[in-house]
Structure 1
Amino acid sequence: MVSPAIALAFIPFVVTLLIRYRHYFLLFYRAVLARRLRDCLTGIPKQDRAFQYVLTHSIPGDPLHILETFDQWSHHCEYLSNLGPQKAKILERLIYEKAPLTVLELGTYCAYATILIAQSLPLGARLYTVEMDAHKASVAEKIIRLAGFDDDTVELIVGRSEEVIPQLKEKFGLFQADLVFMGHWKRCYLRDLQLLEAHDLLPEGATILADNVIFPGAPQFLQYVKASGKYKWRIHRTSLQYFRAIPDGMAQLTYTGLQ
């Protein structure tokens, strides 16, 4: 049994932790606790609740308005780990600079980045987006079509990235990707980058943009990129989507083709 004196001695320490890491506690509350409570109360998954909001409040066929509606939902209703407006500017600028004709997205989620990429692509370009969760993929497809993009522009592939990547050439007709956007599980970044290399899916000069490399972080991925000699790289310092007080970053890589 802890004495009252010892318990009181810990109060300043606990208060200091709460103040210093209050933004992380708030993130945990919004992203985990509040979401689970709403799941139990409504019986509807978070992605479906977000889709109903977007369907009700956005303008069909207007990609930018759909993204703004997602931002409103994530700011004022429930947290979604979408790309968010700050990081969206980095990705959008990169697409305009590189003008890729083939883009591979790993991790469709709610299709926020998918819509941003699709509406920024040059004429005749094509986006392949991979989502492992079948239910999330079904919601994402509705949002993609709501934004006005058909199968000729965006092909949604349902499956695990480590299974899909080796099949991209023969099954899906993607022989090389000019741009790869990684927004899926951070622990999969390194494995999937090496799979892209092994299956010759990265032409010389290909660009890879990886999200959340600072928080929650992808240290093994960054270590490999820096040590391999295959990439020119830089880190775009940002904040976590919808949480400006939490530092984050996006890694931009350029494949040199050197082995």
Structure 2
Amino acid sequence: MPEQLWSDVDRYLVDLLLPVDPELEAAARDSAAEGLPAISVSPTQGKLLHLIARISGARRILEIGTLGGYSTIWLARALPPDGRLTTLEADPHHAEVARRNIARAGLADVVDIRIGPALETLPTLADEAPFDLVFIDADKPNNPEYHAWSLRLSRPGTVIIGDNVVRNGAVLDADSTDPGVVGTRRYLERVGAEPRLTATAVQTVGAKGYDGFTLAVVEE
């Protein structure tokens, strides 16, 4: 089966390229034990986020959707000593699990977790903008609105990454009534139509199945 092959290749790549990381492994393990859904980025995807943040020189990062803090840790580790990451989480239980995971990773002083629906907390971030990198990985029906807020809180050169944009190929279905698919399609349409962005999308396979992400940079 292709899915098994994808997972086997992921494990092979992780073994070769990603050293054992007790803090990240504990974050994944504790998130599962606390009943959080298994929808965090994979280790290879987390390392990709980390590298993009480093390559872009991000000092201020905004993450929309914390879950258990797994991707948060990857991103926060890419920050320089004076960097800061703000992450938004709607579920108080998820936020508490993330807080413990982030503290164990030694990043409590770097990461600010804001609890509440992102569409309520995003308007409060104007004084902290612009952000150098935005990672969108929350509820997919609201992706078009998260896209709009990402632009408002950005500057020329800001990197905006949107996760889960392929959805096992369901994004092709223009007649879908699935809110996640509808939201994702509208998000992609807005990214493609936005003159301030230069963007691409990459399909991914691996331990997390078949999906993909968008990568965009805000133009001058």
Report the TM-score when normalising by structure 2: 0.77
Q: Unmatched 5+ residue regions in structure 2?
A: 5-19, 169-180
Please tell me whether residue 65 in structure 1 is matched to residue 31 in structure 2.
no
- What amino acid sits opposite 1:147 in the alignment? A
The separation in 2 between residues aligned to 1:149 and 1:74, in whole angstroms, is: 17
Q: Determine the structure 2 residue equivalent to 1:231.
A: 197
The separation in 1 between residues aligned to 2:68 and 2:136, in whole angstroms, is: 14
Which of residues 38, 43, 52 in structure 2 aligns to 1:94?
Answer: 52
The CA deviation at 1:129 is: 0.4
Which of residues 124, 127, 137 in structure 1 aligns to 2:95?
Answer: 137
Report the TM-score when normalising by structure 1: 0.66
Kindly indicate whether the alpha-carbon contact (under 8 Å) linking 2:136 and 2:161 is maintained by their aligned counterparts in 1: yes
Q: Determine the structure 2 residue equivalent to 1:253.
A: 216
Q: Determine the structure 1 residue equivalent to 2:7.
A: none
The CA deviation at 1:71 is: 5.5
Q: Determine the structure 2 residue equivalent to 1:51.
A: none
Greater Cα shift, 204-213 or 66-75: 66-75
Three-state SS of the structure 1 residue aligned to 2:40 is: coil
Larger Rg computed on CA atoms: 1
Q: Please list the CA deviations of residues 193-229 of structure 1 after superposition, one character each: whole Å capped at 9, or x if unmatched.
A: 21333xx311011111111111165111111111222
The CA deviation at 1:175 is: 2.0
The separation in 2 between residues aligned to 1:159 and 1:74, in whole angstroms, is: 19
Moved over 3 A (4+): 68-75
The CA deviation at 1:183 is: 0.9
Please tell me whether residue 128 in structure 1 is matched to residue 86 in structure 2.
yes
The separation in 1 between residues aligned to 2:155 and 2:185, in whole angstroms, is: 25
Q: Determine the structure 2 residue equivalent to 1:214.
A: 166
The separation in 2 between residues aligned to 1:70 and 1:235, in whole angstroms, is: 28
- What amino acid sits opposite 1:182 in the alignment? I
The CA deviation at 1:145 is: 0.7
Q: Determine the structure 2 residue equivalent to 1:106.
A: 64
The CA deviation at 1:74 is: 9.0
Greater Cα shift, 154-163 or 81-90: 81-90
- What amino acid sits opposite 2:210 in the alignment? P
CA separation of 1:133 and 1:72: change in aligned 2, threshold 3 A? closer
Kindly indicate whether the alpha-carbon contact (under 8 Å) linking 2:28 and 2:70 is maintained by their aligned counterparts in 1: no
Three-state SS of the structure 2 residue aligned to 1:139 is: helix
Q: Please list the CA deviations of residues 151-171 of structure 1 after superposition, one character each: whole Å capped at 9, or x if unmatched.
A: 3x11010011111111113xx
Kindly indicate whether the alpha-carbon contact (under 8 Å) linking 1:233 and 1:252 is maintained by their aligned counterparts in 2: yes
The separation in 2 between residues aligned to 1:179 and 1:195, in whole angstroms, is: 13
Q: Unmatched 5+ residue regions in structure 1?
A: 1-18, 24-62
Larger RCO: 1 or 2 (CA < 8 Å, sep 6+): 2
Q: CA RMSD in A?
A: 2.6
Q: Percent identity?
A: 27
Which of residues 141, 148, 153 in structure 2 aligns to 1:201?
Answer: 153
Three-state SS of the structure 2 residue aligned to 1:120 is: coil
The CA deviation at 1:64 is: 3.1
Aligned length: 188
CA separation of 1:74 and 1:155: change in aligned 2, threshold 3 A? closer
Three-state SS of the structure 1 residue aligned to 2:21 is: helix
Please tell me whether residue 155 in structure 1 is matched to residue 107 in structure 2.
no
Kindly indicate whether the alpha-carbon contact (under 8 Å) linking 1:86 and 1:238 is maintained by their aligned counterparts in 2: no
Please tell me whether residue 186 in structure 1 is matched to residue 140 in structure 2.
yes
The CA deviation at 1:120 is: 1.6
Kindly indicate whether the alpha-carbon contact (under 8 Å) linking 2:65 and 2:138 is maintained by their aligned counterparts in 1: yes
Kindly indicate whether the alpha-carbon contact (under 8 Å) linking 2:200 and 2:215 is maintained by their aligned counterparts in 1: yes
